[in-house]
A and B are shown apart, each in its own frame.
Chain A
Amino acid sequence: MRKQRLVTMVAAGAAAVMTLSACGGGGGSSNNNNKGGGNPSATGPNAAIGKVFNPSDKKGGTLRMANAGDWDSLDPGDTYYAYSWNFIRLYGRSLMMFASAPGQDGAKLTPDLAESKGVPSEDLKTWTYKIRKGVKFDDGTPVTSKDVKYGVSRSLDKDTFPNGPTYFNEFLDLQGYTSPYKDSDPNGLGLKAIETPDDQTIVFKLKKPFADFDYFAGMPATMPVPKAKDDGTKYKEHVVSTGPYKFEKVELGKSFTLVRNTNWDQATDPNRKALPDKITMQLNVNADDLDNRLMSGDLDVDVVGSGVQPAAQAKILADPNLKNASDNPLSARLWYTNINGEVAPLDNIECRKAVEYAADRTGYQRAYGGNAGGEIASSLLPPIIPGAEKIDLYPSKDSAGDVDKAKEALTKCGQPNGFETNISYRAERPKEKATAESLQQSLGRVGIKLNIKPYPTGDYAKLYAGKPDFAKSNNLGLMVFGWAADWPNGFGFLKEITDSRNIKAAGNTNFSIKDPKVNDAIDKAMTEKDENARQKAWVDVDRKAMESAYALPGVVAKGLYYRPKNLTNVFITDGFSEYDYLALGVSG
C-alpha cells in the first residue's frame, strides 16, 4: 500500500512539474528552430515520436545517463552497440553520420567530418571524401585524412579490437593487410586500400562494388585517431575527442564523465547543438533501480535504449500520469524464428510452409508483452526501414494461423499427420521461452510436435543454435532468435541474416536462410545505384526470403521509454530507434 501511494505521489509530482514547465515554456528566451517543429506544450504518450518534445536551444546543465550493463568499448574502432553509435557522436566525428532529427529524418545520412557525401567511381569500387577544414582534436591538433585512415586501419585488427563490425575487413581491397601494429610503414599507414593524396582527401578502394558505402563511412571506425596517442586496447581509457565533448574522467566498468571540448568549433559542425555542459554516465546500474531513478527524476536517460524493465512497464501503463511521459516507438528490431532446412522433414519447403501457416502470431505477440511489446510481423523487414513494404505470403484471419492451409501443406510434404522436431531458445530470455511454448501450442494443432530446448544466451550463436553442425545433429528444427539492424536500411537489416554465403562454422547471425535466389537478389540490391530502386531491390530480398519459408517472422519490437521531465529537445530517431542523444538538453 505504502509503495503504491508513494508511486502515486512521485507520479503526481512529476505531472505537476511537467504542467508547470509546459506553461512556462513559451516565455523563455530560447528560439525554437528544430526540424520537425514540435509543439512545446504537447505532452502525452508518444509526444517524442516523429516530432521534438520540449524543444530548446538553452545550453548548460548536466545530463545524467546510466547503463544497466557495461560498455563494450569507448574506442571508436571497437564498439558495436546501437546506443554506443548513437552516443559516440558526442565525442567523435565520423565521415558521415545519421542526422540529428526526429523520425525518418534521423535515419538519413548527412556529412559530418566529410564536406559532402562520398563520390563513387563508375564501378562503385572507389569512394572519395573531402574532409572539412578546421576540425581539431581536443588537444588542438588539426585533423587530417591520415588520422582517418589510421583510425580505419587499426579497426581492421580484430586481434586487438574484436568487438567492432567487420564490414571494412570484408569490403576493402586489403591485399593481405591486417594491422597497423604489424605494418612496416613507421606511421602505420601502409594500407593500400585507403589513399590520402592530400590532408583533406581520403579514397577508399573496395574489392567489390557497393552502392551504400556512405553507411560504412558513418561507422565510428572512420573517426580520426592520432597515431601518437594510440596505445591499442588502452586507447579506450583516453579517447581523443573531435566532437563537442571530451572525456574528463574514465573509470572502466564504473562511470565516465564528458565535459565541453574547447577545441570543437561550432562553425565546422552543422549537425550538433551541444546543449548540456556536462554529461555523466554510470555503468553497471541495477536495471530496476535505474527505472525507479528515471521516474523519480534522479536520472535523465537509460542509455541502452531498449525500454524500461517489465516492473516499470506495468507501473507506467497502469498510471496515466506516467504513461503521458512515455514513448512506445517501433524499432528496426525483429523477433523471429529460424526454420532449419537442414533438419528433416523441414528440408521440404512444404513442411516449412506448414509451420508458417500453423503459427499463431497473436501468441507470438503476447509472448513479447502484447501491443506495448511490438507489432505482428509478416515478413523480415521492419516497417520503419525506408522503402519497406507489407509482404504477407502466409495470411490468416487475425494472424491466428490457418490450420487448413497448414494441413494442406503437410499433406503436400508427405507428413499428413504432422511430425516431431525441436525448438531452441535463449534460456535467460523469458519472452523467448514464452514464444517457444506458444509455438508448441499453435503448431500442435496440426500435429507438429515441438520439444523445447533452452541454451545459454551468451553462447547461443557461438556454440548452439548459431553453429550449423550442432543445430543439425541436435535436430533443432526451429530456433527462436531476434535481429536488429546495423543501419535502418535494407542492407543494414537483411544482409547479415539472409546471405547464405556468410554462414560460418560457428557464431552465425543467419541460422537458416540458404537460398541462391536470395543471394542473387542481395547482389542486385548491393550494386543498384538509384536509391529508390535500391530500396525496392531489398524488398525483393525480403520477399524471396519469405517465399523460401526459412524464417517465421514474429514481432517487430517496440520499446517503452520513460521521458523524464527534466529533458529538453527529446525525440526518437529512426537512425537508432531510441532517443537521439546528440540533441538532448536539460532544463533543471
Chain B
Amino acid sequence: MAGSPEDSRATRPPRPSTVFAYIIRRLIGAVILLFVVSLVTFSIFFLVPRIAGASVEDMASRYVGKTADAETIRQMAEKLGFTDPLLTQYGRFISAIFVGADYSTGPTTVHCPAPCLGYSFITQNPVWPDLVDRMGVTISLAVGAAVIWLLLGISTGVLSALRRGTVFDRAAMGVALAGVSLPIFFTGLLSLTIFSYGLGWAVPGGTYVNFADDPLAWAGALILPWVTLAFLNAAGYARLTRATMLETMNEDFIRTARAKGLNERTVVVKHGLRSVLTPIITIFGLDLGILLGGAVLTESAYSLPGLGAYAINAIVNNDLPKVLGVTLVGATFIIIANLVVDLLYAVVDPRVKYS
C-alpha cells in the first residue's frame, strides 16, 4: 500500500500553481461541455421536431390560444423567429446569454439582460430571473437535506459495519432498504398527512419562508422535506459506507495502525473513515449536483417553488425556453459539483495529484 494515508511524503498539499492550472483547465472544459449541452438540448427541442416532420406552424401552435386561426399561428411563428434558419435561431439564443436580448410586450419592449437564458412566451417573462428566484428554494432544500443524509448515512453505515451482524446492523440495513425503495411522492404525501395534517407538528405543503426573512421559520418549513429527502438518500449512503467500511477494516494499513498501538477510535475515524470518504464524495458530488438542478419529485410532492417544480411546469406547458434554461443551469451545477469533488479528492486521498 504505497501511498497509504500514513505516507507523510504524500500528505503534502499540492502546489497552488498546479491546482490553479488544473482548475483553469477544468473550467475551460466545463465551458465547452456546457456549449455542447446547449447545442444538444437546443437540437432536441428545435431540430428534432423539424426532422420528425413538424412545420414551423406546428411548433408555434403551442404558443397561441386554443381558438387561434392559421393566420395568427403564422404570425406567432414569425414573431418567435421559428421561420428563421435554425443556425440563426441558435446563434440568437447563444448571443442572448452574453449580450441579452429584447422582447416586445405589446406597447413597450423588455430588455432581457445577460445572461439571458431565453424568454418564456407563455408566461411572458425572461427565464433567468425566474431561475434565480427559485434557486434559493432548491439550494435550501438540497443543502439541508445533504447535511442530514451525510451525517445520518455515514454514521449509520460506520456503526453497522463495526457491529456487523448485530440487531442494530440488521435493523439499520432493513430501514435503509426501505428508504431506497420507497418513492418520495409516497413518503412525501404520507409524511404530510401524518405530521402536518394529522399531528400538526409540521407546516402544510407549499410553505416556504426566505432564510433572510426568518431563519427559524425557514428551517421549520423545510424540516419535513429535508428529512424525507435525506431518508431516501441516507439509506443509499449507509449501505455504501457499510460495504466500503467492511472492506477497509480488513486492509493491511488498518492492521498496521492497530499494531502500532493506536486506540480503536483513532483507527476507525482517522484511518478507516478517511478511505471510505473517497467513494462517498464521488457519489455525493453527483447527487448534490442533480439535486441542485432540481429535486423534481420532492419539490412537487411538497409543492415547493424551486427549480424542479419549475422544470415540471415548463415541461407540462411545453414552455421550451424554460426547459432549455433549467437544463443549462442543472448541467452547470453538475459540472461544478464534479469539479469540486475532483478537488476534494486531494484533501481526502493524498495519492491524487493534479499535475
> Which A residues contact B (CB, under 8 angstroms)?
2-3, 6-7, 9-10, 66, 69-70, 80, 154, 157-166, 179, 181, 230-234, 236, 252-254, 282, 284-286, 288-290, 292-293, 295-296, 298-299, 458-459, 461-463, 496, 504-507, 509
Contacts and interface: CB of A to CB of B under 8 A. Distances in A.
Contacts of A163: 65
Contacts of B18: none
A294 to B, nearest CB: 10
B57 interface: yes
Contacts of A10: 197-198
Interface string B55-90: 001100111111111101101100100000000000
Nearest to A462: B61
B118 interface: no
Given A9-B198, A70-B317, A158 B107 contact: no
A80 B75 contact: no
Contacts of A69: 313, 316
Contacts of A299: 204
A148 B205 CA distance: 40
B100 interface: no
Given A160-B105, A253-B313, A504-B70, A289 B189 contact: yes
A234 B189 contact: no
Contacts of A462: 58, 61-62
B178 interface: no
A346 to B, nearest CB: 25
A166 B65 contact: yes
Nearest to A486: B67
B124 interface: yes
Contacts of A295: 197
> Which 9 residue pairs across A and B have the least CB separation, nearest first?
A232-B106, A296-B197, A233-B124, A160-B106, A232-B105, A462-B61, A289-B205, A233-B105, A166-B67
B105 A292 contact: no
A509 B66 contact: yes
Contacts of B205: 285-286, 289, 292-293
A67 to B, nearest CB: 11
Contacts of B196: 296, 298
Contacts of A252: 123, 125, 130
A298 B106 contact: no
Interface in B103-124: 104-108, 110, 123-124
B206 A289 contact: yes
A162 B106 contact: no
Chain B contact-residue range equals 35 or more
Contacts of A253: 123, 130, 305, 310, 313
Contacts of B75: 158-159
Given A10-B198, A162-B65, A504-B69, A231 B108 contact: yes
B305 A254 contact: yes
B304 to A, nearest CB: 10
18 contacts: A158-B68, A158-B75, A161-B106, A162-B65, A166-B65, A181-B107, A233-B105, A233-B106, A254-B305, A286-B206, A286-B301, A292-B189, A295-B197, A299-B204, A458-B317, A461-B66, A463-B54, A507-B61
B189 to A, nearest CB: 6
Contacts of B62: 458-459, 462
Given A253-B313, A282-B206, 4 more contacts: A166-B68, A233-B106, A286-B301, A292-B192
B206 A231 contact: no
A66 B303 CA distance: 11
The residue among B79, B105, B130 with the most chain A CB atoms within 10 A of its own CB is B105
Contact of B64 (A158, A292, A293, A298): A158
Contacts of B61: 459, 462-463, 506-507
A286 B106 contact: no
B190 interface: yes
A286 B69 CA distance: 34
B206 A285 contact: yes
Given A234-B105, A506-B73, A162 B125 contact: no
Given A253-B305, A286-B301, A505-B70, A293 B198 contact: no
B266 interface: no
Contact of A458 (B57, B110, B194, B318): B318
Nearest to B192: A289
Contacts of A507: 61, 64, 66, 68, 73
A293 B204 contact: yes
Interface of B: 54, 57-58, 61-70, 72-73, 75-76, 79, 104-108, 110, 123-125, 130, 189-190, 192-194, 196-198, 204-206, 300-303, 305, 309-310, 313, 316-318
A280 B189 CA distance: 23
Contacts of B130: 252-253
B66 A159 contact: no
A180 B75 CA distance: 17
Given A10-B198, A462-B58, A284 B303 contact: yes
Given A181-B106, A292-B189, A507-B73, A286 B302 contact: yes
Contact of B107 (A162, A231, A290, A506): A231
B106 A231 contact: yes
Contacts of B310: 253
A181 B197 CA distance: 50
A509 B69 CA distance: 12
Contacts of B72: 158-159, 162
Contacts of A463: 54, 58, 61
Contacts of B104: 160, 232
Contact of A288 (B189, B198, B204): B189
Contacts of A234: 105, 108, 110, 124
The residue among B107, B130, B192, B313 with the most chain A CB atoms within 10 A of its own CB is B107
B260 to A, nearest CB: 52
Contact of A284 (B76, B198, B309): B309
Contacts of B194: 2-3, 6
A69 B72 CA distance: 26
B300 to A, nearest CB: 6
Contacts of A504: 69-70
Contacts of A458: 62, 316-318
Contact of B193 (A66, A292, A461, A505): A292
Given A6-B194, A160-B106, A230-B107, A285 B66 contact: no
